[in-house]
Structure 1
């Protein structure tokens, strides 16, 4: 169990976040204020807010676990961000600011019809559930090791706290708490690196020597192989997923509307990138430092492997079965558990509470943002569009509150369902790539190809959806036809899926124009 002082720090942090919600609830008397803060947020605060959303507990726990278990291949994701940010700042931000629509998906109905808007909204909501679920799971994994409470109880307590301040404070509370949380989690990462290095025999030079000998600093193979997680696979995945984040994700698009001007909104995107890239680098350093530390303390690894084996086996597993499972586990199988173990055993009382608060902030910023944006999309794109278009201002605000609570509960349920997964980062990357592929492909088709019509976009989306399913579930192809199964890495789903929808739509448009020209002549 955590010492009383650490528990007190964590409780004070949770209460503080709830009080922030109460503070901003005084001014949330309209849906515009609740969803857009009436365009009153400065650009620097929005940039820190977007950064905090990116830097979730998937980063705080998943990235060190990934670096511990493999190498720095996943850091290529961060390196892809500047190009995606350039596209977003130049084209997407002005586009959304000019439309004036709070939902990122309203314009798709104007381009291709109701089906396009509904399709993308469903993909977005599934993406948010996956994101919130993986973040709930990640924080519960860490706090279970620290407190001894069950993961389910941790998720419920944290979920209730997030729901309260998000429902009360709206987007304003989300953004300003994320500004604080972004600072806390960055300082927490620096503190963890300091504590590992000071506990490491030989210090920094020893960490570098061990990392070099184990190839821990590698960015992955540079071979043009798209069946494995090479440098190029992660680079392409990162560019497409970040293009989706900045261009299609309601979490970010909604923040563009809270800015005072288009220029301030564009600057917020660049501020996020300028902070996130070096900040994510810190978490890869943490993973490499932990690998070096546990390499010189192999007896501690056995404890972690034993605990990981227990969680993977049924409750009635024998000691022999647990020992056999533990013996076969590889670093990638228990990487997510290493940092929580270090926190429990090596970080002094008082500092643990601060670091846990940093991890909590990483989780809460992402979940609160997901709840608010999901509630906004559901209200605007589903309820008002299909059920009750004429709802008044008070009814809209009440609906936003109810939807926020419901999506918070669904996020908790998704997190509980994820208990037992191998890697937080892997499961999040895979799910986000699957759901985002259809969104991004259709969005690019609508914004770039002005002459593509409704039926052409629909056919392209259907074919693209089939390709996404084919890559997601390769085993649907009978075993006697192995050549027909997809051998591409799962991170390529968003790349191939998005390009399929976009290029097929372009091809169908050109075929129509060519046929029309031939008939006219």
Structure 2
């Protein structure tokens, strides 16, 4: 399962990189963010889709539907998994209590709602971390690296006990949080390396239909 997940994850990352390369090459001489055609850098992909496929009826809608469906399916499956882990591993396993199927289903639904509310509150934190990609990778690294360390410890060192695993987990989590918070505090003091951008060939785009107020407002409203 881990091997399949690694292969699938690598394929998704490769596709993401290819999309970024294509968008950068397309806007190499007319960057819409530098030219103030979009307000946030995360709007570049929807803007690209609207510019390339805007005249193809239905295709922009399919793109947005895929974005929403992919996000909702990932979030819903994650919430259900977290609720199941809390009930099985903590409530039943750690606390040693038993539940009927009906009550377990009810508690699982309540936990899903509570966890969903926590995720919505976390979006406030994400909004202050720069782009969505940077925020996702940062939070993923903080939370997933300690878990990976515990799994590797169990695979390679069968003699490890619970106390050692807990000490390693919380030590790794503290180190990751220290690095994460330090990066957020000092990010304004550090120069960001980025590929060169140009607006040399943007003179003709001001009269494009994609530059009208309606389209720009629609994209901005959708991503806010």
Whether TM-score is above 0.5 comes out as yes
Correspondence for 1:365? 73
Q: 1:276 and 1:394 mapped to 2: Cα distance?
A: 36
Q: 1:355 and 1:417 mapped to 2: Cα distance?
A: 27
- Matching of residue 302 in structure 1 with residue 35 in structure 2: yes
SS in structure 1 of the partner of residue 99 of structure 2: coil
Taking only aligned residues, the RMSD between alpha carbons, in angstroms, comes to 3.1
Check whether the contact 1:304–1:337 (CA below 8 A) recurs between aligned residues. Answer: no
SS in structure 2 of the partner of residue 288 of structure 1: helix
Cα pair distance change 1:299/1:437, threshold 3 Å: closer
SS in structure 2 of the partner of residue 295 of structure 1: coil
Check whether the contact 1:290–1:339 (CA below 8 A) recurs between aligned residues. Answer: yes
Q: 1:295 and 1:474 mapped to 2: Cα distance?
A: 33
Match of 1:390 among 87, 98, 116: 98
Correspondence for 2:212? none
Correspondence for 1:481? none
Cα pair distance change 1:448/1:411, threshold 3 Å: same
Greater C-alpha radius of gyration? 1
Correspondence for 2:24? 291
Alignment of 1:363-512 (within 5 A): 363-385=71-93, 389-461=97-169, 463-474=171-182
Hey, which of these two has a bigger chunk of helix by percent? 1
Give structure 1 stretches of 5+ with no counterpart: 1-84, 90-268, 309-333, 476-521
- Per the TM alignment, residue 295 of structure 1 is displaced from its structure 2 partner at its CA by 2.6
Alignment TM-score, normalising by the size of structure 1 = 0.31
Match of 1:281 among 14, 31, 45: 14
Alignment TM-score, normalising by the size of structure 2 = 0.65
- Per the TM alignment, residue 363 of structure 1 is displaced from its structure 2 partner at its CA by 0.8
Alignment of 1:309-388 (within 5 A): 334=41, 336-346=42-52, 347-348=54-55, 349-385=57-93
Check whether the contact 2:33–2:44 (CA below 8 A) recurs between aligned residues. Answer: no
- Per the TM alignment, residue 288 of structure 1 is displaced from its structure 2 partner at its CA by 2.1
- Per the TM alignment, residue 388 of structure 1 is displaced from its structure 2 partner at its CA by 7.3
Cα pair distance change 1:452/1:295, threshold 3 Å: closer
Give structure 2 stretches of 5+ with no counterpart: 184-224
